[in-house]
Amino acid sequence: MRKLKKTSFSLQKDIHKYHIWRENKPDIVVKVGDMATIYPEYEISKRIQGFLPFTSYFEYSNLGLITMPYFELGNIGLYPWTPDNIHILRTCVKQTVLAYTNAFFHGYLHGDFHPGNVLLEKTDEPNGLRTLIMEFSKTRKIDANNKKDIIDFYFDIEKFFILLQDYRYIGNIDKATVIPIMSTIEAYIHR
């Protein structure tokens, strides 16, 4: 993501995300791309609970622009997890996987599900953090009973866990951490 000062904005073909700092207002992120890609991404983001809804859509020349809030805490993989807050990581991972499972059963496959696409937000709820899944450019409508779509869903989940272990602040997620989460997913699927 490219950072731009204040309300300045410039379009460059090969850069698609911009962090815009605004004086006396919350920062935002603008995603720019072809209208045929950007508008469906905006629409999908509004339909799925647990996914980050883009806040606005604009057209500029042949480009579409979508905006969303800037999340200062960043993504789940780069948050500074410690032994003292590992229980919060487990809760965040469960929230994320259950949100994605909910989307799957409502007919959507994310297609690019990894820790970098899971943002953290402060909340007053227990544990103090909630997760939001973002980046819907590869999201597609699916049939939750189709074997290929089920395989793709499990691949996305597995990829999320494998890549979560590779982030710099999460050096060691052991089986005791992962197994209860996978059991939760399986119980949800088979209910």
Query: Predicted confidence band at 188 (pLDDT cuts at 50, 70, 90)?
Result: low
pLDDT digits (tens, 9 = 90+) for 58-91: 998 888 999 999 999 999 988 988 878 888 998 9
| Neighbouring-strand partners of residue 63 | 34, 60
CATH superfamily of the domain spanning 86-189: Transferase(Phosphotransferase) domain 1 (1.10.510.10)
pLDDT digits (tens, 9 = 90+) for 112-146: 999 999 999 999 988 899 999 998 889 999 998 99
CB within 8 Å of 165: residues ≥ 6 apart: 171, 172, 173
One-letter identity of residue 113: F
One-letter identity of residue 130: R
Say what the pTM is: 0.79
> Do 2-69 and 86-189 show the same overall fold?
no
One-letter identity of residue 38: I
Domain limits of the chain? 2-69, 86-189
CB 119 within 8 A of CB 131: yes
What is the CATH code for 2-69? 3.30.200
One-letter identity of residue 180: P
| Neighbouring-strand partners of residue 51 | 133
Q: Please, what sign has the CA dihedral across residues 6, 11, 15, 17?
A: positive
CB 2 within 8 A of CB 15: yes
Q: Provide the token pair at 182.
A: 């996978």
CB within 8 Å of 48: residues ≥ 6 apart: 99, 102, 103, 106, 108, 133
More confident residue, 12 or 103: 103
Q: Coil, helix or strand for 67?
A: strand
